[in-house]
Amino acid sequence: MTDEQQGQAKKYILIAEDDSAYGNVYQSKLENEGYEVKVTNSGDAVLAEIHSRKPDLLILDLMMLDKDGFEVLEELQNQNLLNDIKVIVASNLSQDADRQKVKKFNILDYFVKSDISVTEMVEKIKTALK
Amino acid sequence: MNKVFADSQHALIMEALIENLPAGVALVDREKKIILANKAMMQLTRLPREGFYLTELTKLFNVDLGTELDKILSTSISPMVILSNVVLRDFFYFIYCFQICDDAKNVIGGAILLQDITKSKAIEREKSEFMSMASHQLRTPLGSMRWNLELLEEDIRSLPEISQKRFYEAYIGNRRAIWLVADLLNVSRIEQGKAEGEPQLTDLVSIIRNITEEMASEAESRKIALEFKLINEAIPKIVIDPAQFRDVIENLLSNALKYTKSGGRITIMLDHTNGYVEITVADTGIGIPAADQYKIFSKFFRSKNAVRIYTESSGLGLFIVRSYVEKWGGTIRFESTEGQGTTFYVTIPVTSNITV
C-alpha cells in the first residue's frame, strides 16, 4: 500500500462481471494494488450492492445474465445516481452501436477488455480514482 | 450448336430459353429501341407491355440505361457493362448490358440482363452478422486468458529458460488470436457498411510520427533504417476517424517491417498537393511476386514468399486498408518487384480546408 493510501480509507471498487476468469483477476490484482474489491455477477446483484453501499468506482460489464449493463445504466440514470458514482464500462463489445448506446450515459471511460493489458487496466482505474 | 436439333428448330429453342429464363432479359436494337422483353423482365418490373420503354426502365431502376447502352452499342468502348447495387422496392439486382454482334462482328443490338441478387445479399449479411457475433464471443476467453497470462509472467521468471520460452510462445499466440479477432470484426463491420467510425479533425502528422516512434526500437534491433519524411510542412488536418487512419498506417508500416530483412530501409513520406494528402510507404523488402499482385488486396490472401518469412498473419490487413481508403474517397496502389521491394501510394482527398 502506498503512503497516501495508508493515510486514508481504502477506496472501494465494485465490479459487475459474470465471467469468473475476469472476476478473479480483478479481485486479486486490484486488492494487491491496495483497493477494497467486491465482484458481483449480475445486473440485479450489482444494483442491490450499490444501494447497500455506494462504491468509489463501478466497473460494469455489458453482457451479463438477467439485467445487462445497459439496463443497469438506465436504472442508475433514472435514480439519478450516475452523477454521483464513477462508472467505467469494461466490455468485449465494440460495435459502434454499442458505444453510441453507452455514450448517452454519464460514464468516465469505456474499454474493450481483450484489447488492453492488465497493467493498462490498472492505470485506468488509478486515473479514475484520482 | 450440336446436331441434336434440326437447324430450323434453333430459333424456336432460343426463343423458348429466353422467354423462360429466371433472369429478366430485354433486347434493344442499335437505336436503343426495345424489341424484346421476356416474362421475367415483365414480372420483375411490373410494367405493362404497352409502357415498356427504356425511359420507363431508367426511371424504375434509377440508372442511366441510355448512357450504359451507348457504351456497349459503340464497338470501341466496351462489350459489357455491369451495374451493381441496383435497388427496386425491397430487391437488389445486378444489371448486365452487353452487345450482340453478327458474324462479321458488326454490332446489331444490345441486351439488358436483370439478375436478382436479393437472396445472396441476405446471405452475405447473415454471414457478416455471424462473423461479428462469433468474434465477440471469442474475445471473452481470449481476453481473460491474456490477463491471466500477464499476471503469471512474474512467476514465470523464476522458472528455467525453456519454460519461460514456452510461456512467451503461449502469450504471443494469445495476442495474435486477439488481433485476428479484431481484424475479423473490422472486416465484418466494413462489409455491413457499419464502418463509419467517428470522423473528426485529425492531425495526420502526429499519428504517423507516433507510429514510427513505436516501431523504432524493433527496426533498430533488426538493423532496418526506418524514416518518416515530411515532404510538405503544411499538411492540413482532415476530417477522418483517427483510429481508422491509425489502422491504415500501422498496417502498411508493419507489413514493411515484417517483410524487410536486416540491413534494409523503410521510408514513409507525407505530402500535400492539389487537394490531396499523399502517403508513400517504401521498403527494400521481399516484394510481391508479379503473379500475386492482382490478389494482394483480397481477404486472407498471402503470397508464398510472405508466408515463408512470417507464418502467422491474418491476410486481412490490406483488405481493411483499401476499404478504409476507398471509403474516404481516396486511392491506393503499389509498385513491387520480387526480391527488391514494394512501395505503396495512398491518396486521401482533403475535404475540409483547415490548415495546421
When comparing pLDDT for B125 and B155, which is higher?
B155
**What whole-number distance in Å separates Cα of residue B76 and Cα of residue A114?**
56
Instruction: Tell me the nearest-neighbour CA distance from B150 into chain A, angstroms.
Output: 7
Q: In chain B, where are the structural domains located?
A: 7-116, 121-191, 200-349
Q: Collect all residues of chain A within an 8 Å Cβ-Cβ radius of residue B142.
A: 114
C-alpha–C-alpha distance, residues B118 and A41, integer Å: 43
CB contacts < 8 A, A to B, total: 55
Torsion angles phi and psi, residue B116, rounded to 5:
-80, 115
Task: Tell whether A100 lies on the interface with B, counting CB pairs under 8 A.
Answer: no
Q: Give the ipTM of the model, two decimals please.
A: 0.90
SS3 readout for chain A: CCHHHHHCCCCEEEEECCCHHHHHHHHHHHHHCCCEEEEECEHHHHHHHHHHCCCCEEEECCCCECCCHHHHHHHHHHCCCCCCCCEEEEECCCCHHHHHHHHCCCCCEEEEHHHCCHHHHHHHHHHHCC
Residues of A in contact with B194 (CB under 8 A): 95-97
DSSP H helical ranges for B31-160: 39-45, 54-61, 65-73, 118-156
Q: Mapping DSSP to helix (H, G, I), strand (E, B) and coil, where does residue B215 land?
A: helix
Does the beta carbon of A112 lie under 8 angstroms from any beta carbon of chain B?
yes
Q: Bridge partners of B114?
A: B24, B95
Nearest to A46 by CA among A56, A38, A36: A38
Residues on chain B touching A19 (C-beta within 8 angstroms): 140, 144
Q: Given this model, what pLDDT does residue B151 score? A: 95
* Cβ–Cβ below 8 Å for A96 and B189: yes
pLDDT of B127 reads 87
Range with the poorest average pLDDT among B84-93, B145-154, B210-219? B84-93
The answer to whether residues A21 and A44 touch, using CB atoms and an 8 Å cutoff, is no
Domain at B200-349, CATH homologous superfamily:
Histidine kinase-like ATPase, C-terminal domain (3.30.565.10)
Question: Residues of A with CB below 8 A from B148's CB?
Answer: 21, 25
CATH number, residue A95: 3.40.50.2300
Question: How many structural domains are present in chain A?
Answer: 1
Cβ–Cβ < 8 Å for B151, A25: yes
pLDDT tens, chain A, 130 aa long? 565 555 568 999 999 999 999 999 999 999 999 999 999 999 999 999 999 999 999 999 998 877 889 999 999 999 999 888 999 999 888 777 788 888 889 899 999 999 999 999 999 999 999 8
Chain B touched by A32 (CB under 8 Å)? no
**Residue ranges making up the domain that contains A53:** 3-128
Contact yes or no for A22 and B147 at CB 8 A: yes
What's the pLDDT at A103? 85
Work out the minimum CA distance from A29 to partner chain B, whole angstroms. 8
Confidence of residue B353 (pLDDT cuts 50, 70, 90): very low
Quick one: what percent of chain B has pLDDT higher than 70? 96
CB contact under 8 A, A95 and B189: yes
Fold of B121-191: Helix Hairpins (1.10.287)
Write out the three cell numbers for A9. 480509507
Task: Determine contact, residues B318/B251, Cβ cutoff 8 Å.
Answer: yes
Show the DSSP H helices in B268-354 as ranges. 304-309, 317-327
Residues B145, A21: C-beta atoms closer than 8 Å? yes
B148 in A contact zone (CB under 8 Å): yes
Q: Cα separations (Å) of B343 from B27, B176, B253, B276?
A: 47, 26, 11, 18
Q: What is the predicted pLDDT for the residue at B204? A: 96
Find, among B167, B230, B169, B168, the residue nearest to B203 by Cα: B230
- Closest alpha carbon within chain B to A120: B147
Q: Is B86 on the interface with A (CB under 8 A)?
A: no
Nearest residue to B175 (alpha-carbon basis) of B145, B213, B136: B145
Cell representation of residue B322: 483499401
Contacts of B132 in chain A (CB under 8 A): 95
Q: Give residue B356's pLDDT band: very low, low, confident or very high (50, 70, 90).
A: very low
Rounded CA separation B246/B263 (Å): 26
Closest CA in chain B for residue A122? B147
Rg (CA), chain B: 27
Single-letter amino acid, residue A69:
G
Please give the CATH number for the structural domain made up of B7-116: 3.30.450.20
The SS3 assignment for B89 reads: coil
Tell me, yes or no, if A65 comes closer than 8 A to chain B by beta carbon.
Answer: no
Band (pLDDT 50/70/90 cuts) for residue B165 is: very high
Q: How close A38 gets to chain B, by Cα (Å)?
A: 18
Q: What is the pLDDT of chain B when averaged over all its residues?
A: 90
The three cell numbers of residue B9 are: 428448330
Looking at per-residue pLDDT, the higher value among B216 and A4 belongs to B216
Residue B46, Ramachandran bin (φ over 0: left; ψ between -120 and 50: alpha; else beta) = left
Provide the 10 A C-beta neighbour count for residue B154.
8
Distance from CA of B187 to the nearest CA of A (A): 12
Count CB neighbours of B1 within 10 A: 9
Q: Which residues of B touch A117 (CB under 8 A)?
A: 146-147, 150
Buried/exposed A48-83: b ≥16 CB within 10 Å, e otherwise: ebbeeeebbbbbbbbbbeebbbbebbebbeeeebbe
- Paired with A42 in beta bridges are A65
For residue B43, count CB atoms less than 10 angstroms from its CB and return exposed for 0-12, middle for 13-18, buried for 19 or more: exposed
- Is B337:B284 a contact under the CB 8 Å cutoff? no
Q: How close is the nearest chain A Cα to the Cα of B143, in Å?
A: 4
User: Which pLDDT value is given to residue B354?
Assistant: 36
Q: What is the mean pLDDT of residues B74-84?
A: 78
pLDDT tens digits for range B295-324: 999 988 889 889 888 777 888 999 999 999
pLDDT at site B272:
95
pLDDT for residue A7: 56
